[in-house]
A and B are shown apart, each in its own frame.
Chain A
Amino acid sequence: MFRSVCRISSRIAPSAYRTMMGRPVIANTILAQRFYSANLSKDQVSQRVIDVIKAFDKNSPTIANKQISSDTQFHKDLGLDSLDTVELLVAIEEEFDIEIPDKVADDLRSVGETVDYIASNPDAN
């Protein structure tokens, strides 16, 4: 509910402010207030994962313009190499305040798998 309001307001923020830290950060993740409880629904998780992926602008604008769904594969569809995928997963870890064990992280290849893992992790918030 509030997220959508924030998202509208974020569209008008000039991109100059977003590039402060070297890499642009998607403004709606900056400005969104956190109103959710510890139990995340899958929709929320996938929305936030997609926001993080869009903020990961290494191969922009290829990623920014792509339609990201749960079937999207990091390597095949987004064109990320193995090191990019590692960086992206660390960013997602940071967003949800969890640490994905190495063994699990090696097997995460698509957006859907990542969302499933986070939704099943009770520590994610």
Chain B
Amino acid sequence: MDKARVLHAYRGLIRAILKYERPSKVINWGKLQKAMITKLEYSKKQNPKNSHEDSNRELESWKQLDPVNDRSLNLFISDSKLLRSILKNDIKWEEKVAQGQNADEILEHAFDIIKFLDNQREYEELVDRYNPGNKLTQDEKVKRTANVVGLDVPR
């Protein structure tokens, strides 16, 4: 078992998982951003006299946050502990490297997982792109359906 190959496999896995997680993290950051802005604006309205310069600046910085384009929000995978524990305890890669054991099967498996994650991500992106209605809420769907026949939903 070659150490460099293990590290290549690990790097590939981290990259694939990072990309795979990205869409849901972007959504989470968007939600957090919305919640924080609401909260800060509310507390600003509650005590306008006490409004601190710091909290104004914080509000400003949350407003400027751009979860979609700011890559530096998602630099790490959420949890690499599990992956590492599998490598260390189940596969025992360090011992295998030291003893020079053959572990091509395990590495093949890792490279298969990388391919699967990448392709699954691409598939999901394509499904979303071909079915733009999937992400709409029910209200939005009703509204648009009504619009198709030239009607508006009552307010």
Task: List the interface of chain A (C-beta within 8 A of B).
Answer: 6, 9-10, 12-13, 17, 20-23, 25, 29-34, 51-52, 55-56, 82-83, 86-87, 89-95, 97, 99, 102, 105-106
Contact = CB atoms under 8 A, between A and B. Distances in A.
Contacts of A25: 72-73, 75
B148 to A, nearest CB: 39
Contacts of B3: 82
B28 A106 contact: no
Contacts, number: 87
B61 A21 contact: no
B89 to A, nearest CB: 13
A9 B60 CA distance: 9
B28 A20 contact: yes
Interface string B57-88: 11011001100001111111111100010010
Interface in B1-51: 3-4, 7-8, 10-11, 14-15, 18, 25, 28-29, 32, 36
B121 to A, nearest CB: 15
A17 B76 contact: no
Given A12-B57, A105-B11, A91 B76 contact: yes
B105 interface: no
A46 to B, nearest CB: 15
Given A9-B58, A22-B79, A90-B18, A31 B65 contact: yes
8 nearest A-B residue pairs (beta carbon): A91-B75, A29-B72, A31-B61, A22-B78, A9-B57, A12-B54, A90-B14, A86-B11
Contact of B76 (A20, A56, A97): A56
Among A9, A51, A99, which residue has the most Cβ atoms of chain B within 10 A? A9
A90 B15 contact: yes
Contacts of A13: 58, 61
Contact of B18 (A23, A32, A55, A94): A94
A9 to B, nearest CB: 4
